[in-house]
């Protein structure tokens, strides 16, 4: 375990020195580093901060001494090396001892609007997250290392590498969310027997069989079965040797082939089996059949035509044979 003392001694703001806190009622408007959407403070003052909230994700890293952070009326006592993640817009206060040091890091996470996993990230940070040597030792050294790298980059007093700082933040978020999910999976597997998991999974497959034409997604079906989506994904692969989406697509294509044989229009078939656009349907159909829906229809029509002609030829030949005799 590395020492939790930061070796840097100069924690002067790179530029854009702080003037004063801007608070309206209990909401604080963050004075980010000019031109950026984050700021990191080195705080060694015995100053308390009363209840306040802001739209930034706040990370408090206790580097020396102790520190008490209260979030939504819940107290978190930070010891040396402890790190707490305070959710955006949560009411929190800070009680400082007479001596000690900590880093307070504020990040605008609106960039997550462009991420498909935005909901999962916001859900994860809807409650305070505390990590330390005694709370999550398996990931703590990695989180600690990333935080120290962010601090070093920020206070380097040269051009700030914004991409590197945010990449370390994303790494931390990924580590922590996956760690929580791993703990939840282990808890689920401890509680459920193999037979119970199998029975649940049979019901899942039955549910897909009945509802394949609906707007199904991994999270919805996992919730139906009572699993977290990560646990569900792993079990699905284990029981079917296929991913959830591959299995669902194959089911839809099987049903689509039946409808195409009945000479239904391709667009109508796509929507009937659960695809929300024709392009996705055609791409998926070709993936699992080797041809487009139209080519498949033409192929079936041609085979049926050949089959009818063969029957006619056999009938005609038989009659000629009978006539000769």
pLDDT of residue 52: 93
- Here the tokens at position 99 are 């001596």
Among 65, 63, 155, smallest CA distance to 102 is for 63
Segments of the chain scoring below 70 in pLDDT? 1-9, 135-137, 157-160, 179-195, 304-325
Can you list the positions of beta strands (E) in the chain? 22-24, 27-29, 38-43, 49-52, 57-64, 67-71, 74-78, 83-86, 92-95, 101-107, 129-131
The domain 22-188 having CATH identifier 2.60.120.280: the answer here is yes
pLDDT of residue 199: 78
Q: Is 78 helix (H, G, I), strand (E, B) or coil?
A: strand
pLDDT of residue 197: 73
pTM of the model: 0.56
Beta bridge partners of 105: 40, 59
Distance of alpha carbon 289 from alpha carbon 76, whole angstroms: 57
One fold for both 22-188 and 194-299? no
Q: Tell me which fold the domain 194-299 belongs to.
A: Arc Repressor Mutant, subunit A (1.10.10)
pLDDT of residue 318: 41
pLDDT of residue 4: 46
Distance of alpha carbon 99 from alpha carbon 94, whole angstroms: 14
Each residue of 166-202: pLDDT tens digit? 999 988 888 887 765 555 544 555 455 666 777 778 8
| C-alpha dist (Å) from residue 267 to 87, 239, 280, 281, 321 | 46, 33, 11, 9, 48
pLDDT of residue 322: 37
pLDDT of residue 157: 66
Domain ranges of the chain: 22-188, 194-299
pLDDT of residue 99: 87
pLDDT of residue 38: 92
Each residue of 75-111: pLDDT tens digit? 999 999 999 999 999 999 999 888 889 999 999 988 8
């Amino acid at each position: 375990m590395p020492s939790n003392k930061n070796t840097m001694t100069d924690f002067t703001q790179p530029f854009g020195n702080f003037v004063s806190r801007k608070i309206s009622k209990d909401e604080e408007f963050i004075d980010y580093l000019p031109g950026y959407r984050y700021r990191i403070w080195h705080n060694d003052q015995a100053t308390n901060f009363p209840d306040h909230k802001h739209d930034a994700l706040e990370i408090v890293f206790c580097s020396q001494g102790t520190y008490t952070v209260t979030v939504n009326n819940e107290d978190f006592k930070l010891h040396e090396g402890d790190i707490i993640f305070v959710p955006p817009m949560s009411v929190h206060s800070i009680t400082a001892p007479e001596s000690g040091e900590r880093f307070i890091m504020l990040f605008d996470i609106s960039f997550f609007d462009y991420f498909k996993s935005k909901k999962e990230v916001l859900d994860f940070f809807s409650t305070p997250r505390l990590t330390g040597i005694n709370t999550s030792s398996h990931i703590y050294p990695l989180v600690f290392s990333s935080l120290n790298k962010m601090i070093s980059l920020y206070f380097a007093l040269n051009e700030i590498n914004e991409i590197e700082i945010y990449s370390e933040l994303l790494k931390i978020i990924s580590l922590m969310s996956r760690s929580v999910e791993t703990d939840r999976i282990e808890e689920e597997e401890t509680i459920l027997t193999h037979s119970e998991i199998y029975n649940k999974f049979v019901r899942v497959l039955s549910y897909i069989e009945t509802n394949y034409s609906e707007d199904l997604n991994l999270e919805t079906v996992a919730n139906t079965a009572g699993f977290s989506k990560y646990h569900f994904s792993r079990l699905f692969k284990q029981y079917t040797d296929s991913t959830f989406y591959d299995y669902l697509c194959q089911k839809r294509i099987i049903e689509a082939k039946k409808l195409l044989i009945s000479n239904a229009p391709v667009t109508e078939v796509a929507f009937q089996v659960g695809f929300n656009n024709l392009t996705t349907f055609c791409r998926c159909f070709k993936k699992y059949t080797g041809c487009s829906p139209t080519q498949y229809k033409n192929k079936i029509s041609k085979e049926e035509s050949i089959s009818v002609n063969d029957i006619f030829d056999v009938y005609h030949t038989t009659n000629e044979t009978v006539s000769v005799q």
